[in-house]
């Protein structure tokens, strides 16, 4: 045994190669069933700044009271009783021992990030006499992973913001154009129904003219929130432009889509928007619905829903109109 080997005189009845005690890249700590430290290798010396002679023969938790005793004691006992190793990632628990990072990583983070492996130690008769804890310094990996995750989150946020309307928080026209194309592709593949509704606030210009554009913005946000709160998770509500919204409704027939949109229309009709000065505003919706049929492009589907919307406006507003596809007899589209 070399001078760098730090093993308690009352050690377990096992052989410890010199290389384990001399390791500089992995921390090795061995304790017996009573949590007495019986091996403290060079890595542990350098990072704790405590020589092996100072801790060998001492209780692990007495020597290092900052350890999470409740957690670690259960881990060690489980390893001894069940004779199975366990592992703790820095993601679950950033560190076991409070070691400072290396000079190159000084200050970020405050303590070395560690992966910890705990496995049973057997004597020559095959009895478990304690455990070995292997401490891996993964600070650099943790920093790189955290940096990558921050960059990814920022990229996602940027992508998300580019798809959102700044006023209402709904998806914007750009996202709608992409989403309706994808939904049509899925509809063709899986043969499920798809409906598109175009929704417009009635007489919205008069709201802006009477109460101001700030009040109009409040009405738009309130409308968006009310509509969004009544939709299914699979539905996609977008601000199409101005006071117009587009609603993509997969897995729904025209009959059920009309029922849903009429519920939404009634909800907006009963909604009271209160301004900061106590003024209240009520609005209504006009809705046009078009059902996807094979051979119809996304642009044509929008045109048909828009046509149904204009029919609702012409019918006196605050109503829902469904587009009726062309028939062989008439050869023309109609709304009802």
Q: Three-class SS string for 167-179?
A: CCCCECHHHHHHH
Residue 17's pLDDT is 58
Q: Does 83 fall in a domain?
A: yes
* Confidence band of 21 (pLDDT split at 50, 70, 90): low
In whole angstroms, give the CA distance from residue 235 to residue 248. 6
In whole angstroms, give the CA distance from residue 148 to residue 114. 19
Task: Write down the mean pLDDT value for the chain.
Answer: 88
Mean pLDDT computed over 33-56 = 93
* Confidence band of 214 (pLDDT split at 50, 70, 90): very high
- Upper half-sphere CA count for residue 128 (Cβ side, 13 Å): 18
Residue 103's pLDDT is 57
Q: Are residues 171 and 289 in the same domain?
A: yes
Q: Quick check: 22 and 5 in contact, CB under 8 A?
A: yes
Query: Which CATH number do you get for residue 119?
Result: 3.30.450.20
Mean pLDDT computed over 129-148 = 89
Give me the number of domains the chain comprises: 2
Q: Does 4 fall in a domain?
A: no
Is the pLDDT score of 98 beyond 50? yes
* Confidence band of 23 (pLDDT split at 50, 70, 90): low
Q: Are residues 218 and 324 in the same domain?
A: yes
Mean pLDDT computed over 15-26 = 66
* Confidence band of 335 (pLDDT split at 50, 70, 90): low
Of the candidates 243, 300, 329, 335, the residue annotated as catalytic is 243
Q: Quick check: 336 and 325 in contact, CB under 8 A?
A: no
In whole angstroms, give the CA distance from residue 191 to residue 71. 54
Q: Are residues 214 and 250 in the same domain?
A: yes
In whole angstroms, give the CA distance from residue 96 to residue 112. 9
Q: Are residues 195 and 253 in the same domain?
A: yes
Mean pLDDT computed over 104-132 = 84
Share of the chain above pLDDT 90, in %: 73
Query: Which CATH number do you get for residue 289?
Result: 3.30.70.270
Name residue, tokens 């601000």: 239
Range of lowest pLDDT (114-118, 122-126, 234-238, 250-254): 122-126
User: Which domain, by its residues, includes 32?
Assistant: 18-145
Question: Tens digits of per-residue pLDDT, 236-267?
Answer: 999 999 999 999 999 999 889 999 999 999 99
Residue 1's pLDDT is 37
Size of the chain, expressed as the number of residues it contains = 336
Residue 9's pLDDT is 43
* Strand blocks (E) in 36-142: 37-40, 86-88, 114-122, 128-137
| 3-state secondary structure at position 5 | coil
Is the pLDDT score of 16 beyond 60? no
In whole angstroms, give the CA distance from residue 23 to residue 1. 14
Whether 243 is catalytic: yes
Is the pLDDT score of 285 beyond 50? yes
CB burial readout 192-224, b (16+ within 10 A) else e: ebbbbbbbbbbebeebeeebeeebbebbbebbb
- Pairwise pLDDT comparison (303 vs 332), residue with the higher score: 303
Is the pLDDT score of 15 beyond 70? no
Q: Are residues 135 and 234 in the same domain?
A: no
Q: Are residues 54 and 190 in the same domain?
A: no
pTM beyond cutoff 0.75:
no
């Amino acid at each position: 045994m070399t001078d760098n080997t730090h093993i308690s005189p009352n050690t377990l009845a096992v052989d410890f190669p010199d290389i384990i005690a001399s390791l500089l890249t992995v921390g090795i700590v061995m304790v017996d069933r009573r949590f007495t430290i019986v091996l403290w290798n060079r890595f542990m010396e350098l990072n704790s700044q405590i020589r092996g002679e100072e801790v060998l023969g001492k209780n692990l938790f007495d020597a290092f009271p900052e350890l999470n005793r409740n957690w670690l004691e259960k881990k060690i006992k489980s390893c001894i009783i069940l004779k199975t190793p366990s592992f703790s990632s820095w993601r679950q628990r950033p560190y076991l021992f409070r070691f400072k990072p290396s000079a190159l990583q000084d200050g970020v983070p405050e303590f070395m990030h560690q992966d910890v492996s705990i496995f049973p130690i057997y004597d020559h008769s095959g009895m478990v006499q304690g455990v070995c804890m292997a401490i891996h310094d993964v600070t650099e990996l943790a920093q790189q992973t955290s940096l990558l995750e921050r960059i990814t989150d920022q990229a996602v946020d940027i992508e998300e913001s580019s798809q959102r309307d700044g006023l209402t928080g709904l998806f914007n026209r750009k996202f709608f154009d992409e989403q309706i194309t994808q939904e049509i592709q899925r509809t063709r593949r899986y043969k499920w129904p798809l409906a598109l509704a175009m929704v417009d606030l009635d007489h919205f210009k008069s709201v802006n003219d009477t109460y101001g554009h700030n009040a109009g913005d409040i009405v738009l946000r309130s409308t968006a929130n009310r509509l969004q709160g009544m939709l299914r998770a699979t539905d996609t509500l977008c601000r199409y432009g101005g006071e117009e919204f587009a609603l993509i409704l997969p897995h729904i027939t025209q009959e059920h889509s009309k029922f849903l949109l009429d519920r939404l229309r009634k909800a907006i009709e009963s909604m009271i928007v209160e301004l900061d000065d106590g003024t209240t505003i009520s609005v209504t919706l006009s809705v046009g619905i078009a059902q996807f049929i094979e051979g119809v492009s996304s642009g044509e589907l929008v045109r048909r829903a828009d046509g149904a919307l204009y029919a609702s406006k012409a019918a006196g507003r605050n109503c829902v109109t469904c587009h009726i596809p062309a028939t062989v007899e008439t050869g023309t589209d109609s709304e009802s």
